[in-house]
Chain A
């Protein structure tokens, strides 16, 4: 039991930090430009595929640097020639543009790499068990993922809170026109933030690729959970995104490792009833409902607290 708790907590925190790598970029982009970037998970997928391809060509470590830079450049191009062009048609058009982009990126990835999972392996340098806990070997690569995520989290915090650039970004979050009046090129700041946000998503993709599955449906699987995270945390709230990421990471990881069902708790139903909705609900295990738990959480949070856990801004 203790083993389960420790391992699940570690995995949950890891998944949560990965989610935060994505949701932090998404949140900053949203609060700055008022645009929910529907294609954010697609940039994460691009990161994983670029990482895979570059790893095959030049090795994992250069890929870890190069792939996010490439994806960040793609992100900046999207902002400069796509979103800025669409901005005059309003937020709905911008959201739809990123929606179409998510669709198109998935198709391009499918066209180039196919629909099957890629053989994206953990680099040999990190392919050993970091420590053994209650007879379970915990892979070093997962510790590396955790390390990268925490490092980026701290770096982000320092840049946002302690540097001049962070000051401008923070100011542009709440008072974009005032920042522009003070002589800053808000357009360029937007482009930069969009590029950094997508690059962060790509970092998550490169390091998550070997651990999870690198496949053309990975964006469609993660995307909705990502939106749950930022709505539950409160749209536009960075601390909210952090706590919601950890919460959902832990909830999902713990749920997957639990096998309980109503049947195991109260005993099986009378077999004479026959299959019905009741028997479905009675026999389903917690592990089976793990994929829908984030959405249940979303609905509950919205009923109790419509602005999200730490949201203040009306949208």
Chain B
């Protein structure tokens, strides 16, 4: 296996027959975006879908850097946050001066804000790639985040700046007060941005970005300047991050210093990487998973961020291509019809793996209960089964599940590897390659 990011989304120069599948995929994507809120009608789910939409645009913009150009940024939230702030100021100005600009155009303000700041900051920071770029992006992220607390009149200090989206002129009778209207606004921009960003990967510039990621020296020999290619890619990423930030500002009707901070930059990195950087749709998957985890896990457990970190470490160590790669690995097997050969191995392996996971969860929860000082009274509910945190039997169960589960799981995963090789071999014999 070569460098992680160099496993390119290979230019699948599609045969005409596959074009149908291509357009069908996009049509299905649009259909899902349109129909989801009609199927799940509660207000809570509309809020969730809105958050997922924003996170998806943000993660896709981040993948222009990480997946397509190989630039690892620790400060991408700068452009998201500045887009959000400019959008809030823009909305307040529109409302104050009665300008005829309806809300759906506000994300463009955020987008251009992100673009302008990326144009200014990008030239210095993209001079070098790799670790130096990562460190500069981190430094600039900290610089902007700290400055936001000093320049109070623009950033509003700790409290942030508020706005009211219904003060803007209505469009076709929509004033964007109800959450569902905001969701469709976000969905509209999600579809537009996703198509635009996909199209960007198909342009010569998108191809040069991949080339700069894989071998900058060779790009230089052909006569391109890798710095300029990285810079352009950085500017596009800043633009779409700004759109996402503006949508977040519209959704929450506030912009504050948390938008620009290291936490936000970290979350987009988590989402993109967990989803998978080597496929275009990976970051969308990641945005769904990470947003759901943030919303759901925080209800269930107090130490949800620890689970978040563990999941991320697990993905980095054992599946560096993310969820998307795990799914796409199976494509040749499905085509060749050899998938049934590995399903039994999966079924065998999944049992001890789940038991191992339960053991780890129990251990963490027991520790959490003790360190919060309420071990005696606290009951851990795992799949509706209550465990007393102070009961030694629970400790025993946790230890047995963790250690035993780990040992058995390791054995069964060897079986999966062997079954995988057999299935792959059979697929190759039938003429399907990975």
- Determine if chain A interacts with chain B: yes
A contacts, CB < 8 Å to B:
30, 36, 82, 85-86, 88-93, 95-97, 99-101, 103-104, 107-108, 111-114, 220, 224, 227-228, 230-231, 235, 275-277, 279-281, 284, 288-289, 291-292, 294-296, 298-299, 302-303, 306, 315
Check A100–B309 contact: CB distance below 8 A. Answer: yes
Complex Cα distance, B367 from A302, in Å, reads 45
User: Given A90-B4, A108-B306, A96–B316 Cβ distance below 8 Å?
Assistant: yes
Beyond contacts A36-B134, A95-B134, A227-B139: 7 other A-B pairs, Cβ-Cβ < 8 A, are A104-B309, A107-B303, A111-B367, A228-B139, A298-B136, A299-B124, A315-B132
Please tell me which one of the listed residues B3, B153, B306 contacts residue A104 in the complex, with CB atoms under 8 A apart: B306
**Shortest CB distance A190–B (Å):** 17
* Chain A, residue nearest B5 (CB): A92
Check A277–B154 contact: CB distance below 8 A. Answer: yes
Q: Is B418 an interface residue, CB under 8 A from the partner?
A: no
- Say which one of B15-23, B24-32, B144-152, B194-202 lies at the interface with A: B144-152
Check B138–A224 contact: CB distance below 8 A. Answer: yes
Q: Is B336 an interface residue, CB under 8 A from the partner?
A: no
Check A111–B306 contact: CB distance below 8 A. Answer: yes
**Shortest CB distance B273–A (Å):** 6
Residues in A neighbouring B316, C-beta threshold 8 A: 86, 89, 93, 96-97, 100
The count of chain B contact residues (Cβ–Cβ below 8 Å) is 51
Q: Is B368 an interface residue, CB under 8 A from the partner?
A: yes
User: Given A90-B4, A299-B124, A231–B139 Cβ distance below 8 Å?
Assistant: yes
**Shortest CB distance A95–B (Å):** 7
Residues in B neighbouring A224, C-beta threshold 8 A: 138-139, 142, 262
Q: Is B289 an interface residue, CB under 8 A from the partner?
A: no
Check A85–B5 contact: CB distance below 8 A. Answer: no
Q: Is B371 an interface residue, CB under 8 A from the partner?
A: yes
**Shortest CB distance B378–A (Å):** 14
Complex Cα distance, B309 from A97, in Å, reads 10
Check A291–B154 contact: CB distance below 8 A. Answer: no
Contact count A vs B, C-beta below 8 Å:
143
Check A92–B128 contact: CB distance below 8 A. Answer: no
Check B150–A93 contact: CB distance below 8 A. Answer: no
Please tell me which one of the listed residues A97, A277, A296, A303 contacts residue B151 in the complex, with CB atoms under 8 A apart: A277
| In the A-B complex, the 4 residue pairs with the closest CB atoms | A104-B309, A90-B3, A295-B143, A107-B306
**Shortest CB distance A116–B (Å):** 12
* Chain A, residue nearest B367 (CB): A111
Check B153–A276 contact: CB distance below 8 A. Answer: yes
* Subset of 30 A-B contacts with CB under 8 Å: A30-B131, A86-B320, A88-B1, A89-B1, A89-B320, A90-B3, A90-B5, A92-B4, A93-B316, A93-B320, A96-B273, A97-B313, A99-B266, A100-B309, A100-B312, A100-B313, A104-B309, A107-B303, A107-B306, A112-B371, A114-B371, A224-B138, A235-B131, A275-B152, A277-B151, A292-B142, A296-B143, A302-B124, A303-B124, A315-B130
Residues in B neighbouring A107, C-beta threshold 8 A: 303, 305-306, 309
Complex Cα distance, B273 from A298, in Å, reads 27
Residues in A neighbouring B320, C-beta threshold 8 A: 86, 89, 93
Residues in B neighbouring A108, C-beta threshold 8 A: 306
**Shortest CB distance B149–A (Å):** 9
